[in-house]
Structure 1
Amino acid sequence: MKAIVQERFGPPDILRLRETDRPEIGAGQVLVQVHAAALNPYDWHMMRGDPYVARLGGVGLTRPKTRVAGIDAAGRVEAVGADVHGLQPGDEVLGFCQGAFAQYARTTADLLVPKPSRLTFEQAAAVPMGAVTALRGIRTVGRVRAGQRVLVNGAAGGVGTFAVQIAAAQGAEVTAVCSARNADLVSSLGAAHVLDYTRNDFTEGRVRYDVILDNVGNHPLNRLRRSLTPTGTLVANGGGSPGHLFGAMGAMLRLVTVNALVRQQLRVILPSAPAGPTHDDLLTVTELIEAGTLTPVVDRTYPLADVADGMRHMEQGHARGKAVVTVV
């Protein structure tokens, strides 16, 4: 099969289209014929081996332990192992598949859910990490309620576009922080107010928010806290922060330390890999999609051979929604 392979850590140039063996599956596992895959900050970190401390956590010290990149996928079930129930060959699915930048990828049944019929495979591939991270940030951790003021920093990105929609669906008054060119987009997704970050610093304003979802990490913690109500919640999403040695982890540790000393709730979500009740979260976001409440935003698509170009685009940090790889 064709796959995007990396033999070492480094820039997008290290990614190569290669012929490699199809994954074999065992009990509880599923082989998916990948039709589309999404690009995530997670993939950037795996490609770069950044931050370096993450290499001690199983990524690989000098070279990647996982040669085939990608984790978000949508496609059709090719085969199922023993003890897999509820899935059969031919089913259209989306979910987390390690090695998604390939014609076939292996995963476990609990990391897959049926693909909403109203989505193309490209739209479906944009869902897993971005939508699940947004759901956890807004509902699970942020506990957003109707009538609250919610600010989403980085509102036009992969997580932000989902977060704006989920918060609006909860009945919140949403303020979206993004560039001026994305104002119409985030407004169409449900934002009541839009702040152009090139002209307005929300931490200098007088408005105080009940919940802030920070997908960017471009403001000091003390300024973010100043923008919260006295009992407000800051949800820091460290998924896209580059770093070298510690990356976003240093800032996250400071946030956790301060949280023990203040009335405000300072929380961290790390969307680096599937964790927690992933299957339930995937089902929740697909139910929202089927209901018409949630719609993936696809910025642009790339053929499998051009994944490196997609990674370069993502590194620039100006994607609208998700960049997606078309495999089949």
Structure 2
Amino acid sequence: MMKASLCTRYGGTEALEVCQTPRPARQPGELLIRVHASSINPVDWKILRGDLRILFGRRPPPILGGDFAGVVLEADASSRFQPGDRVWGLTEIRKLRRTPGAHAEITRCASKLVDAMPARLSFEEAASVPLVGLTAYQSLVHHAQLQPGQRVLVNGCSGGVGLIAVQLAKALGASVVGVCSATNRSVALQAGCDEVIDYQERNLLDEDLKVDVWFDVVGNQSLRSVGHQLAPAGCYLNIVKLISTSVSSWFNPIRDQKSHAVFVAPSASDLAHLRQLIQQGDLHPVIERIYPLDQIADAYKRSRSKRTVGKLVISMPDSLVPL
């Protein structure tokens, strides 16, 4: 048996129950991982709330949680990872019905999606990175193809994705305009923003900005609303409004401006790039608070407030009985 946060039904945090449940059995090609830490992402409470019923059906997946950092318990003999190795990764959301998430003492994950954990990070720090790091990396590197000397705007620069995106853009040689509240101005500047706009004091759409990449982490704009702030061949990225963003380029009068809806995907190679940036000191995880597993409902409530600075991490208990 193992301890886990179970989703008993769709709803709010009252639908979560921390209890004992059977351990998962590893399949060929997978790793069985002792999770030391996980984290909360908005997709977790959106699944719990029922926003993705079309994907999961009448009942939510039993165990949520994408990010994990932990130690390999079991692996194929031919795997590049073996028991005792420290790893980090991101579970596949679409497979949560059949594969347990990371809000548990043990999870299993395809070996090809897992990477060696950055040596300089604690389990809690490492668990805060995978989803937000992959989102920022795949957005700025794969979609926007960000180049040194370009200018990036990050709308929502003080959240989990935003703070990693700012640091990543700076590591890639770009200048960064961050958008957040005045309360979070200092953390945005510390992350590397060259300029910070307080959206509560200034109308963002009235600003005379010319940026190469408009990264909308909040998801409250569109290519149509911000196109005048983009360079002629600029790129608008949205990680929230996926369908409308996917088609907006078709109707944009400036044909060289593009919009991309970012569907983040687990990737060991992208995690390896993030690990290298962390080891070089270019990326630093930002954690607002670490919650024990028994208090995961409080972490969900805090995440739902949409006022977090950085990430909310879940630390697993040390009470697991050895296999």
- Provide TM-score, normalisation by structure 2: 0.91
Partner residue, 1:33: 34
Partner residue, 1:130: 132
Cα distance in structure 2, aligned partners of 1:260 and 1:286: 40
Among 279, 282, 288, which residue is 2:277 paired with?
288
Cα distance in structure 1, aligned partners of 2:253 and 2:72: 46
Partner residue, 1:313: 302
Among 58, 63, 74, which residue is 1:62 paired with?
58
Cα distance in structure 2, aligned partners of 1:258 and 1:23: 48
Cα distance in structure 2, aligned partners of 1:217 and 1:117: 34
SS in 2 for 1:147: coil
Query: Displacement of 1:265 after TM fit?
Result: 1.1
Alpha-carbon RMSD? 1.6
Greater shift in the superposed pair: 262-271 or 167-176: 262-271
Contact 2:242 2:261 in 1 (8 A): no
SS in 2 for 1:110: helix
Query: Displacement of 1:281 after TM fit?
Result: 0.5
> Which residues in structure 2 correspond to 1:258-277 (within 5 Å)?
258=251, 262-271=255-264, 274-275=265-266
Partner residue, 2:82: 88
> Which residues in structure 2 correspond to 1:70-81 (within 5 Å)?
70-81=65-76
Aligned residue identity for 1:93? V
Query: Displacement of 1:221 after TM fit?
Result: 3.8
Give the % identical residues: 36
Cα distance in structure 2, aligned partners of 1:259 and 1:86: 47
Cα distance in structure 1, aligned partners of 2:253 and 2:205: 22
Query: Displacement of 1:256 after TM fit?
Result: 4.9
Could you say if the C-alpha distance between residues 124 and 202 of structure 1 is closer, same or farther in structure 2, counting changes exceeding 3 Å?
A: same
Greater shift in the superposed pair: 228-237 or 124-133: 228-237
Cα distance in structure 2, aligned partners of 1:297 and 1:164: 12
1:15 aligned onto 2:10: no
Partner residue, 2:161: 159
Contact 2:223 2:236 in 1 (8 A): no
> Which residues in structure 2 correspond to 1:173-322 (within 5 Å)?
173-238=175-240, 248-258=241-251, 262-271=255-264, 274-275=265-266, 278-322=267-311
Partner residue, 1:172: 174
Contact 2:222 2:245 in 1 (8 A): no
Among 142, 145, 155, which residue is 1:143 paired with?
145
Contact 2:5 2:16 in 1 (8 A): yes
Kindly tell me the number of residue pairs found equivalent between the two proteins. 308
**Structure 1: which 5+ runs fail to align?**
239-247
Query: Displacement of 1:114 after TM fit?
Result: 1.1
Could you say if the C-alpha distance between residues 259 and 9 of structure 1 is closer, same or farther in structure 2, counting changes exceeding 3 Å?
A: farther
Cα distance in structure 2, aligned partners of 1:134 and 1:250: 19
Cα distance in structure 1, aligned partners of 2:101 and 2:304: 20
